[in-house]
Amino acid sequence: MRPAAGGRDSVCAALFSSFSTQRAGRVAPSSHPSRLNMAGSQLLSVVILLVVCSVRVSGEVVNFADSVQFTVREECAGGGMQLVRVRKTEPIVPRTVATLVHGVWQPAEDYKHRIHHVSASSVKLSELDFNDDAFYEFTCNNDLIRTIQLTVVFPYDVRVSEGETARIPCHLPSEELQGKSAQFERDGELVLEQNRSSGQPEGRLSVSLDWVQTGDLSLTVEDAQLEDGGSYVCYTVDGNGEKTRGKPAAVKVTVQRNRPAPTDAPQQPTPGPDREQTGPGLIVSIILNVLLLTAAVTFCALWRASVRRGRRAGGAETVPLEGRPDGVIS
């Protein structure tokens, strides 16, 4: 995943805005216990705000039910590294997600089936749901060293058959597109970058030429192939490299196969009337034909010989001999 739009500045601005809104609806604290508690809660919010904005904040935007990998580059002397979840809204109650024990991440009870050790500086959280939408803090001996803003989104679903044209929606207000370039990523890899002067890109991927005027950054994928499937996100990028994610936040593309996959084993050709047969079958067929022909010829010869003998025997009894008018044989 790549850093989300705004980074630390956006996170801090949102927190300051939330704090200012809360302050606007409250009266000044007095000696009343409830108001003292309210003042204490505000003071705690200020402290959290200052701490969060004093460390490096990055962002991850991940699809619902997917997994995310948290990584920290700083080392923790003494082995007191923890990953802590902090809600984005009140009540802001930190909850331990995992603890690094002897170089291996051990999950907390609520996360024992979803935390997976990657390395001493990296841990994976799987099967994300909307409750995981929060800030995640790496701490070293209770000192904050990194904060990650995790945003869980439900992806828009696009399904096409192989060879068809896929349209991947992405929209932003036209006012937010002035002077910016547009980028599309698939599974975290850049697949298309477009700006006002780049013209129509070559290949199967394209964006409408009037995307700045219409606010329509939808990506068109012609002749969709199986490798075009994946999770797509679109951004606009300003001159400072700050990214703004379009809507919908993520699009899941599935390309369905529309023809049978080729098999590794070669298929045997089916002999036809015009195809010559070869092999042991041909030899056996020839032998059988010769035997049948021989038997037929032999049978015919024996039958004809039998008929001739019968005719000769009958002729000797009925035909009279010459010179014997009575036909008696002496």
Task: Give the tens place of pLDDT for each residue, 107-131.
Answer: 999 999 999 999 999 999 999 988 8
Between 14 and 271, where is the model more confident?
Answer: 271
Look up residue 149 and give its amino acid: Q
Q: Is the pLDDT score of 162 beyond 80? A: yes
The continuous run of DSSP H or E covering 211 comes out as helix 211-214
Of the two residues 157 and 3, the one the predictor is more confident about is 157
Mean pLDDT of the chain: 78
pTM for this entry:
0.49
| Nearest to 85, CA basis, from 20, 131, 126, 54 | 131
Which of 9-23, 247-261, 310-324 has maximum average pLDDT?
247-261
Query: Is it the case that residue 200 has pLDDT exceeding 50?
Result: yes
Nearest to 3 by CA among 172, 252, 247, 233: 233
pLDDT at 184 exceeding the cut of 70: yes
* pLDDT bracket for residue 208 (50, 70, 90): confident
Can you list the positions of beta strands (E) in the chain? 57-63, 68-71, 81-86, 95-101, 104-107, 115-119, 122-125, 134-140, 143-153, 156-161, 166-168, 181-186, 189-194, 205-207, 219-221, 230-237, 243-245, 251-256
Q: Report the pLDDT value the prediction gives residue 57, as an integer from 0 to 100.
A: 65
Gyration radius of the chain's alpha carbons: 44
Mean pLDDT value across residues 228-234: 93
Average pLDDT over residues 222-240: 92
pLDDT the model gives residue 124 = 96
